[in-house]
Amino acid sequence: MSKRQTVQDPLSANEIFELGVTLFQMMPRTLDATKVRADLTNKSGLGRALGEFLRERYAVRSDFPEAAAWTDFYRRIFGREVDLAGLQVPAKPEHPCWPVVMVQGIANNDAFDACKKQFGKAWSYTDDLNTVRNIVSRPTGAYVVWVKVNVEADPELANISAEEIEKRGQNTLTLRERLVLELKYFDETKSHLDIENWTLCAGSRCADGRVPGVRWSSGGREVSVGWCGVRHVDSRLRARAASS
């Protein structure tokens, strides 16, 4: 893709209201009470059926071919129905890379809790990862961030501190993006990332200014979220370059 996909002009509140009225007017005047009550006891099933119709008719078509797979991923892993209409997709780098689709409404804690559910357990240096903030710019809606196809975090970013990365203005993964990447990679391969090294999530900062990091602990069989100082360097501590 050579251009970033942009969102259409949003519908006005009046237009959305008119659509709702029209749909309501098309409802049969005589309803099967048994079927209605069955649907009301299974609202999620009714919502999926109606959502499929509305998406098929009204969703903005994206030329991002992985959209359907990511919609299914969020439904299964997070129990969320996500709308990727208007998904913002930056130019794909020339090197081999993975797309990481991020949506609104999924916080750091949500991603960490999904890891615990998928892997049986997970460890974090804090009970509240929502205190971690991002220091890199991201779109406000659903967006794609591209990362290099590396099981271990980018080797060329070893021995480079988060402070130095920030000075360079280099775009790197955030904590939430790294956790979602872990979940998607496992969902597709049943394997894990960063078994030997740590991803330095240089696009984020802990509440006290330190930098979160993520790895898979083979001994503990769990995702681990740790931290280090902004000036800390280590050959096993590596950021992941991002294109967003």
Q: How far apart are CA 188 and CA 181, in angstroms?
A: 11
Burial class of 14 by CB neighbour count within 10 A (0 to 12, 13 to 18, 19+): exposed
Torsion of CA 168, 162, 94, 64, to 10 degrees: -120
Per-residue pLDDT tens digits of the chain, which is 244 residues long: 233 334 445 567 888 888 888 888 888 888 888 888 888 888 877 777 777 777 667 665 556 889 999 999 999 999 999 989 889 999 999 999 999 999 999 999 999 999 999 999 999 999 999 999 999 999 989 999 999 999 999 999 999 999 999 999 999 999 999 999 999 999 999 999 999 999 999 999 999 999 999 999 988 789 999 999 999 999 999 999 999 8
pLDDT at 28: 86
Give the pair of three-digit tokens for residue 180.
Answer: 């979602």
CB < 8 Å & 24+ apart, contacts of 117-121: 118/77, 118/183, 118/186, 118/187, 119/186, 119/221, 119/222, 119/223, 120/221, 120/222, 121/220, 121/221, 121/222
Closest of 185, 180, 157, 174 to residue 213, by C-alpha: 174
The structure's pTM equals 0.76
Give the C-alpha distances (Å, rounded to integers) separating 185 from 122, 151, 180, 198, 228: 16, 9, 9, 16, 25
pLDDT at 3: 35
pLDDT at 161: 98
pLDDT at 4: 39
pLDDT at 55: 65
Question: Which residues, at least 6 apart from 76, have a Cβ–Cβ distance to it below 8 Å?
Answer: 187
Give the C-alpha distances (Å, rounded to integers) separating 209 from 7, 8, 187, 203: 34, 37, 32, 12
pLDDT at 9: 57
DSSP code for 66: T
Q: Where are the domains of the chain?
A: 1-58, 63-243
pLDDT at 125: 96
